[in-house]
Structure 1
Amino acid sequence: MKNTIIFLCFLFSLQLIAQGPIPRAEVNLDEVYTQYGLSGEGVLIVMIDRGINYTHPDFIDENGNTRLAYIYDMVDPTGANDPNNPYGVGTIHNHDAINTALINNDPLLSTDRFGHGTATTGIICGNGSGTTDGQFHGVAPKATIISIKITHDYFPPFNGQPGQDAFWDPSYIAIALQFASDKIAELGLPAVTLMNIGSIGGPTDGSSTYSRAIDQYVQSGHTFVCGIGDDGGRDNHASGTISQDQTIELLVNKTIAGNLRSDLWYSENDRFTVSFQRPNGTVEGPFAAPNGPNDAVDQNLGDIFMYHRGKNQEFWGSDANRRELMVDFTGTGTYKIILQGATITDGGEFHSTLNPSNFALNNRFLSYVVHGYSINDYASATLNIVPTDYVINDGWYDLDGVFRHFTGQGDPGELWIGSSGGPTQDGRLAPDFAAPGEIAFCAYSPDTYYSRSNSTLVQGGNGLYGIQNAVSAAAPLSTGIMALMLEVNPNLTPGQIKTILRNSCREDSFTGSVPNNTWGYGKIDALLAIQNTISLGIDHIDNKAFVIYPNPSKGSFTIDLGKEYTDVTVQIYNMLGQLISEENYTSAKTIEKQINASAGMYFIKVSTAKEGSNTLRIIKQ
């Protein structure tokens, strides 16, 4: 019996140790660390989210200094008139100010009371130093960080702590991107940016003000990531065509109290007349369409608010030739949006979405349902990189040692049920690939809404680590991999990163044939992405020309050329392509060498006067 208890305790301890690395192992990150010694050092992460708790150990280096170059708290108005803030909103804290506050234990300059921004930044680049074994570290644990706090989530009072009102202003997106662009130039580091927000609605064809701002940012050379969205698992998209004088009925089933928004888009060259039928059978309308692109027809009908706008009056600043019919419902039951084709000269096609409507909220269309098209508008930008989320692990041991798990959201290997789907409304592929975000383990701070219960704090995490799931976990994991790619090759363009990632995916029985609008190009593989990044910068590698041993090595190694050569040159390069040593030999068959540099991957290039050159990789441990 005693041996059985010991064995069970051993198994339990193995489970605890296994909690952190599961997503890393799934994408072969452990092999990346072992083979290439990557850490994200020298790479900048720009995180646009709900802020960060900079006092968390994950964001403090081994010398006790902050890893944050800047915090831009756009929600805090106190610094808007600061002469050192040219952006007109928010408050900026630089590295020195953050470090001083950290060392002096001053009142927090800025924080993340909800917890989402801290958690997701931890997935990208937390260093795991909140525990002695560091098992909960992020993908790029030595990266430099800029945190841009762009939004607040609502939450009620909890555990004696006050609640928080929601805040969101989409016009801040362009300002945040300008700030990021300026600071990337100032710091001079290769960078990847993640905006970890977005929900279904809008034109989702890349034409909105916000999507165009993202594309402009990428065109400036900045890699940008936005997850596809968490609006999957429900019939929240309807589309079809309406012919001249035809009448159709979009049935909207609303079961959840609060506001429900239908956002319908169609050609500016067409005209739809609109009526509404309430659950009790009463009808409002018909209401004629706006006359032209600069016109609007708005109606306040009590429980129904209609905003029918020409292309120059719609709410998203789209530059496409499309108009918007936005309708808010506040009652419950089944409503009808009755559309008639008053003038159809451009095909009569329409797309409509519902929000909120997802796997957890049973608001849905009952007619003209077409699956997919639930991508958020920011992710529909043409040049960004768009991950989706799949399940690798649905359970965890909480702080009290209780096993917790999600049910009904997908089994390991399957797409998470809440993942939004493509394509965009203009028919482009989305997402680019899938990453395992169910579930990730990451930084939690005390007294936040995330940490209000021991059930989401993980065993072995000292109360400083918990769970994150959904696309909000998959996108940071993917962003961290991009940071490692930039560590290997800081000159990668956004287009090259996207191409490498797409070409570094694997397909299986879950993904089916790829690419498709559910999985993109398949499941991301970090090891293959790093290898393909390396191969991009190597002209020629011939593993048969000569051998290096031992490999990996502690620094000393032997080059065996196989036979005697004359006029031999041996060059050693680091991963950045920088020459760190060069030596010439009149003749040689075996050469003893030493790498006098830090652990990592290096390239050994051997050239001879007659036979040309060959290159091999070596790992210094």
Structure 2
Amino acid sequence: MKNTIKILFFLFSMQLLAQGPVIRAEVNLDDVYTQYGLSGEGVLIVMIDRGIDYTHPDFIDENGNTRLAYIYDMVDPTGANDPNNPYGVGTIHDHEALNTALANNDPPLSTDRFGHGTATTGIICGNGSGTTDGQFHGVAPKATIISIKITHDYFPPFNGQPGQDAFFDPSYIAIALQFASDKIAELGLPSITLMNIGSIGGPTDGTSMYSRAIDQYVQSGHTFVCGIGDDGGRENHASGTVSQGQTIDLLVDKANSGNLRFDLWYSESDRFTVSIERPNGIVEGPFTAPNGPNDSVDENLGDIFMAHRGKNVEFWGSDAERRELLIDFSGTTGTYKVRLQGASTPNGGEFHSTLNPSNFTSNNKFLSYVVPGYSINDYASAALNIVPTDYVISEGWYDINGNFQQFTGQGDPGELWIGASKGPTQDERLAPDIAAPGEIAFGAYSPNTWYSHYVTSLVQGGNGLYGIQNAVSAASPLVTGIIALMLEVKPNLTPSQIKNILRNSCNQDAFTGSVPNNTWGYGKINALLAIQNTISLGTDPLKGKSIVLYPSPTNGWFTIDLGKEYSDVSVKIYNIMGQLISSEKYNSAKMIQQEINVSTGMYFVKVSTAKEGSNTLRIIKQ
């Protein structure tokens, strides 16, 4: 009998691993769908990543139309001079152009040849229509999408396909956020933005030009998510103090070929003299510190490049009183010594230093002054960002040929993924906010991509159109999709409300320990609790007053109960693309009856008064 139970449990586990609902069950999403019928309809997802394959069935609705309002391909220069593109870079494709290309079976207007952006967007809001049972659908399968392609990853030629060079220009971040802000305003939908990029390095104290741009975006009312990073599992952070007259050696083990970047930050008031000892014992320097905030001491030493910069000329545009010492080691492997001497340290000589690449897939590491944590990526250190981390839920998956595959040595179910970065920020703020299960998730795959050429990554039952996605890049889309469902319930949620709800909607267990902490944040996200906590906020206020719309769903006529008499009332109805359907004005009103004489679907009713502000409510037309 015991053997029979074990066999049945093994077969049940195989079935779960071969399908898509493992993560949905873990975070109680199935209960959300059953109890509340949410789908993300009427919510806008802004995805800043490696692009998207808009021809994938996950992103086409039941009528054959694209679910994308826009693709902004910032890597494609052909549209930079288009008069309809005021942003100066990239190429913009709108909903109509994408639909026309789909209808005509034209060559793709924009692609994601790597596969990352397509898979991660699928986790957020793919509709699962690549299979008959839809088992691989994303969290918010009816959401509207904007895809912003901001980067390219390198990969070599494969299967007769050309390779691809890497591309990333961090100055594009502010442009991407401006485009997103403009289109959110144009479409008029509640939105959630995910930027699924970032690695260790920089000031990571919320002061870089990129972190400040993110905070400005959030202050404009746009909720923003950026994962903590994939730089865990290695000794890649060193910190301490250098007193005046003291000399210390930071030992850097360059174990892997290629470039290794050392990035150190310390007070503008302090001055460090720097020497570099190579593995063969040859010493470069000493080099005196830059005199002032606008000065720099740059040294090209062949296979070592050193840039020592004052606070106004460092590479990240930080507005903090900190200077940067950046060293690129591109030569031989071995142990390098970065020797710091405290020439003058009136502010105490404290420093933080990081290495990149240095994570669980790399053997590069510090050998001295190692302090755990502080491996958060700079974009995630923005003060108003929502920061997910990643934990393990499934030991593996069954590939398209029915063979069991798994990642070994990266954590057991329930544990934090070994590659997840950890907090705090360099200014000692908590990070991450929450943890989500990204090991192993499933997302949309497209043929002839770098992702899909790994046959073992294609999942069983996915028709070759779905495969695995892991790391923080899978956990962050899951959280983003949950936020989309929260916005479907209450479109007027503010970024701070969303962040607080998420933090208060977590489970704790033996793995998370006492929370909050800089490994797990507030714990493991519970989607059902997040929706319940969203609902418990009560009816959306109209300047502190409650208004009610009923019935919804409706066959046509509906009533708006304002609760009291107001003057100068306007009622506007929008479709899910943000287009105005009707507009009415009333000199005064308390009970308003209106007819919604349009096709079936979801719509938004915006009620405004001259003095009390506005409120947007959701209505379903049957």
Which range, TM-score by smaller chain?
0.7 to 0.9
The aligned counterpart of 1:312 is 312
CA distance in 2, matches of 1:468, 1:408: 17
Deviations 1:52-85 (A, max 9, x none): 0000000000000000000000000000000000
CA distance in 2, matches of 1:284, 1:301: 8
The aligned counterpart of 1:536 is 537
Contact 1:45 1:191 in 2 (8 A): yes
Deviations 1:332-374 (A, max 9, x none): 1000000000001101100000000001101000000000000
Shift of 1:539: 9.6
Structure 2 CA distance for partners of 1:580 and 1:405, relative to 1, 3 Å: farther
CA distance in 2, matches of 1:383, 1:575: 36
1:527 aligns with 2:528: yes
The aligned counterpart of 2:170 is 170
For structure 2, the 5+ residue unaligned runs are 542-547, 562-598, 603-621
CA distance in 1, matches of 2:217, 2:180: 9
> For this pair of structures, how many residues does the alignment match?
554
CA distance in 1, matches of 2:251, 2:9: 55
Contact 2:17 2:394 in 1 (8 A): no
The aligned counterpart of 1:31 is 31
CA distance in 2, matches of 1:473, 1:579: 43
Shift of 1:599: 11
The alignment partner of 1:238 has SS state of strand
CA distance in 2, matches of 1:235, 1:582: 59
The aligned counterpart of 2:545 is none
Shift of 1:574: 5.0
CA distance in 2, matches of 1:505, 1:573: 33
The aligned counterpart of 2:610 is none
The aligned counterpart of 1:142 is 142
Shift of 1:242: 0.8
Name the % identity.
82
CA distance in 2, matches of 1:266, 1:582: 58
Shift of 1:500: 0.3
The aligned counterpart of 2:584 is none
CA distance in 2, matches of 1:527, 1:579: 32
Stretches (4+) displaced over 4 A:
7-10, 570-576, 578-583, 597-600
Q: Name the amino acid aligned to 2:344.
A: T
Contact 1:515 1:521 in 2 (8 A): yes
Matches within 5 A, 1:110-189: 110-189=110-189
Shift of 1:506: 1.1
The alignment partner of 1:455 has SS state of helix
Contact 1:16 1:459 in 2 (8 A): no
The aligned counterpart of 1:505 is 506
The aligned counterpart of 2:608 is none
The aligned counterpart of 1:406 is 407
The alignment partner of 1:354 has SS state of strand
The alignment partner of 2:193 has SS state of strand
The aligned counterpart of 1:80 is 80
Deviations 1:426-446 (A, max 9, x none): 010000000000010110000
Shift of 1:453: 2.1
Shift of 1:598: 9.2
The aligned counterpart of 1:45 is 45
Matches within 5 A, 1:390-539: 390-538=391-539
Deviations 1:287-307 (A, max 9, x none): 000000000001111221100
The aligned counterpart of 1:303 is 303
Q: Name the amino acid aligned to 2:283.
A: V
CA distance in 2, matches of 1:462, 1:138: 16
CA distance in 1, matches of 2:11, 2:197: 38
The alignment partner of 1:528 has SS state of helix
Contact 1:16 1:397 in 2 (8 A): no
Shift of 1:12: 7.0
The alignment partner of 2:511 has SS state of coil
The alignment partner of 2:103 has SS state of helix
Shift of 1:282: 1.1
The aligned counterpart of 1:566 is none
From the CA coordinates, give the structure whose radius of gyration is larger.
1
Structural RMSD (CA): 2.4
The alignment partner of 2:456 has SS state of coil
Shift of 1:167: 0.4
Contact 1:398 1:455 in 2 (8 A): yes
The aligned counterpart of 2:249 is 249
1:92 aligns with 2:88: no
Shift of 1:572: 4.8
Contact 1:273 1:288 in 2 (8 A): yes
Worse-superposed segment, 303-312 or 228-237: 303-312
Deviations 1:225-284 (A, max 9, x none): 000000000000000011110000000001100000000000000000000111111111
Structure 2 CA distance for partners of 1:28 and 1:426, relative to 1, 3 Å: same
For structure 1, the 5+ residue unaligned runs are 541-569, 584-596, 601-620
Matches within 5 A, 1:284-363: 284-330=284-330, 331-363=332-364
